[in-house]
Amino acid sequence: MAEPLKIALAGLGTVGVGVIRLVEANAQLIARRAGRPIQITVVSARDRNKARGVDLSPYAWEDDMVILGERTDVDVVVEMVGGSDGPALALARTTIEAGKALVTANKAMIAHHGLELAAKAEDKHVALKFEAAVAGGIPVIKGLREGAAANEIERVYGILNGTCNFILSTMEDTGRDFADVLAEAQARGFAEADPAFDVEGTDAAHKLSILAAIAFGSKIDFGAVDTAGITRLRAADIAQAAALGYVIRLIGMAETDGVDGNRTLFQRVQPHLVPVDHPLAHVDGATNAVVAEGNFSGRLLFQGAGAGDGPTASAVVADLIDIARGEVSHAFSMPVGELEALGPAETGHRQSRAYVRFMVADRPGVLAEITAALRDAGVSIESLIQKGRSGDAVMVAMVTHEGPESAVRKALSLLEGSDSLTEPPLVLQILGD
């Protein structure tokens, strides 16, 4: 059998330790499938003395993780540190410049610096792999880059953040409000002590920008992702959606508008009402799911565990097996120089139905004021529900008929500053077929 592929592992958190356990437990199977053994030779983390539940004595220790990329006993560096910049980025740059392959689960770094790293990897003829950066153990990047490579992808969308999905599906099952369920998610380890990265939609936006680049052959444009999280959702919104035949899920969606030579890129992360008969409506808990629609393949659904030590480690080691086999493919399916720079799509013309929720003062004339603004903006109301008091306010929720998004925006602008509204309105798009 060929010489082992020698691995340096930076970061010994949950996933880093999971990689060690997987490589040790499945060593013989991995070697047979890779055509050579995969062997961890050196590790690095912030705290050398922390108990991690695995024996680190077989491995060399490097205090300065950036040096890992320059060691002569390393063929591939696995970066599990996290963060878009700082030590993770320094290590990535050093590794590739030294002519070594890089495997990472760091979606923030890829979203912000992926094009730079991919270009360097092409120049050095080494692999840059990041299957674990999107949707944990689900092979969605490999599916898009390889399995659906012959297709023009028309749209890619899905549930990309397990924390948000756990919170929303628990609210749905229990009728509890956001803050209460968030506290449970933190207690159970599904949410960080500072959950903003997840619940404000940033994590999902990082992942969506990566998927969009691979799906559409475009340059990553994380800054253009229209992002809204789940913090404003109430138990009453979940209940109202259920009464209408929907569930609420945080959906990341990307598609191109226009034709070749004049294409723009639509990217949005936002809670949506999802019809109960749609496949994404049945994705519960911390699960992730991605739908890709190809012009010949049709709808493809990728679903599975979106986080955790085992699933994410599985994706990391799958990348290592590819590298052991000698695969050096383009990180974003094609050379960086051939990726299109697509401007952000205008969204006002997009046709959709929407759920609009108002919290209003409990006094006569308020409902007439709202419906007048909608009428003047050309918004047609399909259904309207007025709920009981919530403190000093009353909830008014409605579903619109299909129409341009610009019409709903105009209606809200007409109501801006009204003392009838006790908080800004909430608008959720309804996911179509």
Active site residues: 207
DSSP structure string for 223-252 = GG-EE--STT--HHHHHHHHHTTEEEEEEE
Token digits of residue 115: 């094009």
Residues in CB range of 208: below 8 A, 6 or more apart: 160, 225, 252, 253, 254, 267, 269
First-to-final CA distance of the chain = 50
Distance CA 335, CA 339 (A): 7
C-alpha closest to that of 393 among 285, 236, 198: 236
150: which strand partners?
none
CB atoms within 10 A of CB 410: 17
Which residue bears the tokens 């955790």? 308
- Give the HSE-up count for residue 327: Cα atoms under 13 Å, Cβ half-sphere: 19
Exposed / middle / buried, residue 281 (Cβ in 10 Å: 0-12, 13-18, 19+):
middle
Give yes or no for a contact between 41 and 6, defined as CB atoms under 8 angstroms apart.
Answer: yes
Helices 27-34 and 14-25, interaxial angle, to 10°? 80
**Phi then psi dihedrals of residue 49, to 5 deg:** -100, 0
Give yes or no for a contact between 361 and 422, defined as CB atoms under 8 angstroms apart.
Answer: yes
Q: Which amino acid would we find at residue 183?
A: A
CA angle 89, 82, 113 (to 5 degrees): 40
C-alpha closest to that of 129 among 116, 138, 142, 120: 142
DSSP structure string for 93-131 = HHHHHTT-EEEE--HHHHHHHHHHHHHHHHHHT--EE-G
Helices 27-34 and 309-324, interaxial angle, to 10°? 40
